[in-house]
Amino acid sequence: MAWFSRVPVVDVTKDNFKELWPTMLVALKTATFIAVDLELSGLGNRRKLNTPSVDDRYKSLAGVARSRAVLSIGLSCFKLNNIDEDGPLVLPFTTQTFNLTLLCSEEYVVEPISLKFLVDHGFDFNVQYSQGAPYHRGADQNGEAPQSVRQLFSELVCSRVPLILHNGLVDLVFLSQSFYTELPSTLGSFLADLSEMFPAGIFDTKCITDFHIRMPASYLEYVFRRSQRENAVHQSKEQPHVTLTFPPYPPHMACVEFRDCCLPDTLLNTTQSTMVIPYCEQYGAHGTCPKGVKCPLSHDPDIIIDQEDWVKAKKKRRRDRKKKKGNKIEDEGQDKTEHLVSMETHDGRDVTSVDGTDSVSSDGQTHTDQSDGGTDNVVAKTRVGCHRAGFDAFMTGFAMATMVCKLGKLCGETDSFTTKFQLEEFANRIYLSGKDFPLQIARSAFAKPSNNHKAKLQRLQFGGTSYQ
């Protein structure tokens, strides 16, 4: 098969942290961009995280990050190899993904809602308590360990590579408070700090999906699967696409686990299946469902995407037929399709909501924002087990790679990733739930970087006094 069907994730715990340190460091320092995802012990009051005032959201979120813990962090390092000048644009990446299990050494809150979700999804608290790599929150302390997740984050900052997140505000606040230094009291200072911490830019794949790419939904699993499917189709037609290679991990390396992400065999078949498999509409639109794992309807993104594309193709055929009034030639297949769609409508499902037209795309967006608000975050941020943070980071990085291929315009020789692909308009814009504008990461005339950040960055640039 021409495309990847399984993804290696390196499982990092306190027992192999030192052994894997050099590998992680090389992956980080040679990366073209790095995708990150966190799993958290809770998010606090959901309503407060979605209040109209973005400044207030930041203040609540900062409080949450001071009292909750990061249970695991996923890092997926994407290194762009040489691009072949001939033929269609092919972006060849080498990808290394790490899932770090962590254990906060200070008291922290675990919320029942998160706990239930974690247990439902096979999270093993025994493993976390016995093998989690220890860390503490806030400012540096005397005698910091030289090989720790805090130091790894410092290396990430010093590497000055673009940071890729999906729905990244919560991640940014937790990353700063958990592995960098005490958060500033205002959003303005926080944004100024971020613009200095990540000068190569922060990209939010949810934001790019909602504002620049038409997709019926924008939760991570969906965006990834759609990107992966589209990429495979483009590859088969020799259109611009992304290719991935993974390091040849030796078979005896017990800490490497493979996540299966095979595409369905039917993907490239020209004859489409006309079978209707009922799927969960709630999950299909938002990636969350109150019934969770007990939902009787399908949450399989392939089934969801197949049906969406099928309904869309159906509508297009209907529009085309209307244009050709009087032309009565219709094949049997179309009749069958028509019949099945109307059955679907009788079931009470709103088939129009999955069409990929302009109005629906923006409707879907606001709908997602207002109806699920916090829960979108809740699920995305509390899923753990099966190395979810690592695989989620990989999915985010891969989605970004395909977006670069689709939206970027390759230009000349430059070391800067953002300039090389002319991605300036996509950088430093973070998704805001319930808003039709993104949060811009920039230093404003009214807000200065915080003193904590300035002192920290100086230590990182001019010698680590805190590590002596």
Binding residues for Zn ion, rule: CB under 5 A, are: 280, 283, 289, 291, 295
The minimum distance between CB 282 and Zn ion, in angstroms, equals 5
d(CA 421, CA 412): 9
The minimum distance between CB 142 and Zn ion, in angstroms, equals 50
The minimum distance between CB 278 and Zn ion, in angstroms, equals 10
The two structure tokens encoding residue 25: 């460091």
The minimum distance between CB 291 and Zn ion, in angstroms, equals 5
3-class secondary structure, 112: helix
> Exposure string (b/e) for 241-272, b if CB count within 10 Å is 16 or more?
bbbbebeeeeeeeebbbebebebeeeeeeeee
Nearer to Zn ion, 330 or 350 (CB): 350
Partnered with residue 7 across adjacent β-strands are 259
Nearer to Zn ion, 295 or 447 (CB): 295
**Residue of 434, 431, 366 lying closest to 46 (CA atoms):** 434
The minimum distance between CB 307 and Zn ion, in angstroms, equals 14
- The Cα angle at residue 390 between residues 389 and 395, in degrees rounded to 5: 95
Side-chain half-sphere exposure of 60, counting CA atoms within 13 A: 17
The minimum distance between CB 333 and Zn ion, in angstroms, equals 30
Nearer to Zn ion, 180 or 279 (CB): 279
d(CA 145, CA 279): 49
Question: Which residue carries 């967006």 as its tokens?
Answer: 365
The minimum distance between CB 279 and Zn ion, in angstroms, equals 8
Nearer to Zn ion, 295 or 340 (CB): 295
Nearer to Zn ion, 283 or 394 (CB): 283
**Residue of 155, 158, 99 lying closest to 128 (CA atoms):** 99
Q: Are 426 and 407 in contact (CB under 8 A)?
A: yes
Nearer to Zn ion, 288 or 418 (CB): 288
Nearer to Zn ion, 110 or 295 (CB): 295
d(CA 135, CA 139): 12
| Burial grade of 338 (CB within 10 A; 0-12, 13-18, 19 or more) | middle
Nearer to Zn ion, 220 or 400 (CB): 220
Nearer to Zn ion, 18 or 291 (CB): 291
Q: Are 286 and 206 in contact (CB under 8 A)?
A: no
3-class secondary structure, 375: helix
Nearer to Zn ion, 172 or 289 (CB): 289
The minimum distance between CB 287 and Zn ion, in angstroms, equals 10
The minimum distance between CB 262 and Zn ion, in angstroms, equals 23
The minimum distance between CB 23 and Zn ion, in angstroms, equals 39
d(CA 432, CA 372): 13
The two structure tokens encoding residue 436: 């039709």
d(CA 204, CA 167): 6
SS3 content of the chain, % helix, strand, coil (to 5): 50, 15, 35
